[in-house]
């Protein structure tokens, strides 16, 4: 009888990590979309700030602040409104953090913007339209925070 209890308790304790590990991704990958606005300028140094709203397929949503910093051979001033799509997300908080990017851009009056950036296993594809002018090649980072 005593051996049976020890065996049952051992089986429960050994199985507990498997239950915990499986629950982290049990719900599966979710899709998240961000509607955003960014305003900024560049003259070798590139700077833009903005805000957005992220909505996920599991019903969660969050207001976010956007901060883009970088540099390169770049000049301009613009205001962009667009959307972004996240991949590799299992929990909404995974969208927060700093993403790295590099790109080339050119536009006058009405400008277009498209870029893909990464943060570990998470990717963000952004595209939008705006007003202003820009020309250049740059690298940088985008930080998303609450």
- For the stretch 93-118, pLDDT in tens is 999 999 998 776 666 666 667 788 99
Q: Could you read off the pLDDT of 51-109 as tens digits, one per residue? A: 999 999 999 999 999 999 988 777 788 888 999 999 999 999 999 999 998 776 666 66
Whole-structure pTM value: 0.76
* Helix and strand numbers, DSSP H then E, in the chain: 1, 4
- CATH 1.10.3720.10, applies to 27-145: no
By the 8 A CB rule, do 96 and 66 touch? no
Domain boundaries, the chain: 27-145
């Amino acid at each position: 009888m005593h051996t049976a209890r020890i065996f049952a308790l051992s089986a429960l304790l050994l199985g507990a990590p498997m239950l915990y590990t499986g629950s982290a991704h049990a719900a599966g990958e979710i899709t998240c979309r961000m509607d955003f606005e960014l305003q900024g300028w560049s003259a070798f140094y590139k700077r833009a700030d903005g805000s957005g709203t992220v909505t996920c397929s599991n019903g969660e949503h969050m207001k976010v602040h956007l901060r883009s910093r970088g540099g390169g051979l770049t000049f301009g001033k613009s205001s962009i409104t667009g959307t972004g799509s996240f991949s590799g997300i299992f929990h909404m908080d995974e969208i927060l953090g700093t993403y790295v990017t590099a790109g080339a851009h050119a536009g006058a009056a009405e400008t277009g913007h498209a870029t893909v950036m990464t943060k570990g296993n998470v990717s963000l594809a952004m595209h939008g339209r705006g007003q202003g002018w820009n020309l250049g090649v740059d690298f940088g980072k985008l930080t998303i925070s609450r």
